Amino acid sequence: MAEGAAATPAATSSFEVDLGNLMAYDPSHHLTAASSREELRQECLQKGTELAQAVADALFALPPSEDRDGPIVHLPPPTIRLPREKHLPKPKPPTKWELFAKAKGITKRKKNKREWDEQTQSWKRTYGYDRVNDDKDIPIIDAKATDEPGVDPFALRRQDKKKRVEKQEKSRLENLKKAAKVGALPSHIQLAAKALPITGTKADLPKKSRKEDLENVAGMASSATASGGKFDEKLPGEKPLKHPGKHRKFLPVAEGKGMGNLEKQQNDKILNSLLARNSDEQLDVGKAITMYKVKKEKQRSKDKKMSSKSDKLKPQKKPLKKSSKKKA
C-alpha cells in the first residue's frame, strides 16, 4: 500500500478526475499480461484503489461545511456531459386574451378573496360557491323599459351565464390546442388521441370500425332484399343476424282465444288501476297508515307552536316529558 501511495502523486497528473461524477480515468495504464483471473482481479483492485484515492484526494480537499449528518462538500458540475432524459420545458405561448391585454396595456390586478355583499349584508367569496351577487340571492330584478314581456329575467340571467361559461371553455380548448402545437401543453393535460404521449406529438388516428359494427352492416345488407334475405345464400362462416326481423310486436286487436285475449287483459289491468284510485272500496292499507301518521304529526307540531306562542312563562314541555319518561 505504501508503494501505491508513493506512486500516486506522480501518476495523478495522468489521471482524468471528474469530480462531479466522482469518476477517475487512467488512460495510460497497460495491463500486464495476467495469466489467471485472480491476478487480473488483484491488479484491477490495486489500480482501482489508486484511482479511488485520486478522487478522494480531490474530494476531501474541498472545503466542507459541517452538518448534523456529517461533513458536506459542494461538488463542481460534472465535466463529462451526459444527455438529458427529456427535452427542456418549452415556454407556454400566450393565450389570445394575454395577447390582447398586452396590446391594450391591461395589467393583471389582484382581487380580494372575499368581498362585501350588499344583498345579504355579509362577507362572501369573490368567486365560487356562495359568492357575491350569486343568482340565488337575488330575489327581485327591477323591470326595465326595454324588457320584453313574457321573458323570464331570471332564466335569462342563467342562460347568459351558461353561454359565458361555454365560451370560456371553448377559448380554453383553443388555447390548449395552440400550446399543443408548440409542444408546451401542461403535463397533466392530454388532448385528442388518448394514447398521446406526454411529450412529443402524434397525429390522431381515424377511428377503427369494430367487428360488431361490420357485422351489423353485413347483416343489414344481407336482409335488404324483397324477401328480407330469406332466400339468399349464406356465405361460408356468416352468422345469422342477432336481431332478425321485427323488434316490436303488436297484439292482435280482434278478440280471440290466445293472443287476442291478451290484449283485453292488458287494457283491463290499466283501466282497473285508473279506476281504483278514485273508488272507495279499494283501500291501500300501507298508504292509508302513512297518510294518517303524517296528518297527526302535522297537527301535533301545529299545537306545539300555538302553545309556545301563547305563553312563554309556562315551563317548557321537553324537560317535563323527559322526567316523566324517567319515572316510567
Partner 1 sequence: MVAAIRVPKTQRARRELLKHAPKLVETGKKTLILHGTKTSAVLNSVLSDIYHLKRDNAVKYTKKNDNIRPFESGGESSLEFFSLKTDCSLIVYGSHSKKRPNNLILGRTYDHHIYDLVEVGVENYKSMESYVYDKKLAPKLGSKPFFAFIGEHFESAEELKHLKEVLLDLFRGEVVENLNLAGVDRIYVCTATSPTTVYMMHCALCLKRSGTSIPRMELVEVGPSMDLVVRRHRLPVESLKKEAMKTADHAKKVKNVTKDPVQGRLGKVYMPDQQVGKLALSNDIKGLKRERREAKKNKEHSKKQKVNPE
Interacting residues with partner 1 (CB under 8 A)? 1, 5, 20-31, 37, 40-41, 44-45, 47-49, 51-53, 55-57, 59-61, 64, 67, 69-75, 77-78, 80-89, 104-105, 169-170, 173, 176, 187-192, 194, 197-200
Q: Which is nearer to partner 1, 45 or 217 (CB)?
A: 45
- Name, in order, each residue with C-beta under 8 angstroms of 261's C-beta and a sequence gap of 6 or more: 255
Q: Which is nearer to partner 1, 2 or 254 (CB)?
A: 2
CA distance 137 to 93: 39
In angstroms, give the least distance from the CB of 78 to partner 1. 6
Q: Which is nearer to partner 1, 192 or 283 (CB)?
A: 192
C-alpha cell recorded at residue 36: 489467471
In angstroms, give the least distance from the CB of 98 to partner 1. 15
Q: Which is nearer to partner 1, 11 or 132 (CB)?
A: 11
In angstroms, give the least distance from the CB of 4 to partner 1. 10
For strand 65-67 and strand 16-18, is the pairing parallel, antiparallel, or unpaired?
unpaired
Q: Which is nearer to partner 1, 169 or 284 (CB)?
A: 169
Coil, helix or strand at residue 259:
helix
In angstroms, give the least distance from the CB of 187 to partner 1. 3
Q: Cβ(95)–Cβ(175) under 8 Å?
A: yes
Q: Which is nearer to partner 1, 46 or 272 (CB)?
A: 46
3-state secondary structure 275-319: HHHHCCCCCCHHHHHHHHHHHHHHHHHHHHHHHHHHCCCCCCHHH
Q: Cβ(41)–Cβ(2) under 8 Å?
A: no
Q: Which is nearer to partner 1, 91 or 139 (CB)?
A: 91
C-alpha cell recorded at residue 9: 502523486
In angstroms, give the least distance from the CB of 162 to partner 1. 14
- Name, in order, each residue with C-beta under 8 angstroms of 111's C-beta and a sequence gap of 6 or more: 126
- Name, in order, each residue with C-beta under 8 angstroms of 251's C-beta and a sequence gap of 6 or more: 259, 260, 262, 263, 266
In angstroms, give the least distance from the CB of 21 to partner 1. 6
Count, residues in the chain: 328
Q: Which is nearer to partner 1, 176 or 218 (CB)?
A: 176
Per-residue CA distances from 295 to 13, 72, 162, 304 (Å): 103, 81, 42, 14
CA distance 108 to 322: 63
In angstroms, give the least distance from the CB of 65 to partner 1. 9
Coil, helix or strand at residue 131:
strand
User: Which residues are bridge partners to 131 per DSSP?
Assistant: 125
In angstroms, give the least distance from the CB of 94 to partner 1. 17
The one-letter code for the residue type at 188 is H
